[in-house]
């Protein structure tokens, strides 16, 4: 892999994480405006909602593995499974298309 493709890969990662961060922020803002939602108690649900929204917005092949403070390890990849899974095993994953991501894991739907 040459330096140019490394730079392009780094930019793609930054875009993907910025999309996810933006969706987390939007989910948090929606929660603040809803009377029945407490963002301190619904942190995980907000992250999973944001991840599902980000997956609908993203196009092409992608995979993401990130550690979010107060939530834990979050992983997802494109719905067609084009990109390699970012992990081998996970004990918890609640985003739509990551059920097929890591073999031998227990999956929980959002």
> What are the tens digits of pLDDT across the range 59-88?
888 888 888 888 888 888 888 878 776 665
Query: For the chain, what is the domain count?
Result: 1
> What are the tens digits of pLDDT across the range 4-62?
665 677 777 888 889 999 999 999 999 999 888 888 888 888 998 998 999 888 888 88
Question: Whole domain around residue 42: which residue ranges?
Answer: 3-100
> What are the tens digits of pLDDT across the range 86-106?
665 544 444 444 444 343 344
Does residue 107 belong to any structural domain of this protein? no
Quote the CA–CA distance of 94 and 108 in Å, as a whole number: 5
Does residue 110 belong to any structural domain of this protein? no
pTM assigned to the model: 0.69
Does residue 105 belong to any structural domain of this protein? no
- Give the distance from CA 47 to its chain's centroid: 8
Q: How high is the pLDDT of residue 92?
A: 44
Q: How far is CA 48 from CA 11, 83, 97, 98, in A?
A: 24, 20, 12, 12
- Spell out the SS3 assignment of 25-90: HHHHHHHHHCCCCCCCCCHHHHHHHHHHHHHHHCCCCCEEEEEECCCEEEEEECCCCCCCCCCCCC
Does residue 92 belong to any structural domain of this protein? yes
Q: How high is the pLDDT of residue 86?
A: 61
């Amino acid at each position: 892999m040459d330096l140019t493709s490394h730079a392009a890969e780094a930019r793609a990662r930054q875009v993907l994480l910025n999309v996810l961060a933006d969706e987390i922020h939007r989910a948090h803002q929606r929660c603040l405006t809803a009377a029945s939602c407490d963002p301190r108690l619904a942190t995980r649900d907000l992250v999973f909602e944001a991840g599902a929204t980000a997956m609908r917005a993203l196009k092409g092949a992608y995979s993401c593995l990130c550690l979010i403070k107060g939530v834990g390890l979050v992983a997802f990849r494109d719905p067609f499974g084009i990109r390699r899974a970012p992990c081998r095993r996970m004990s918890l994953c609640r985003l739509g298309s990551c059920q097929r991501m890591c073999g031998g894991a227990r999956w929980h739907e959002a």
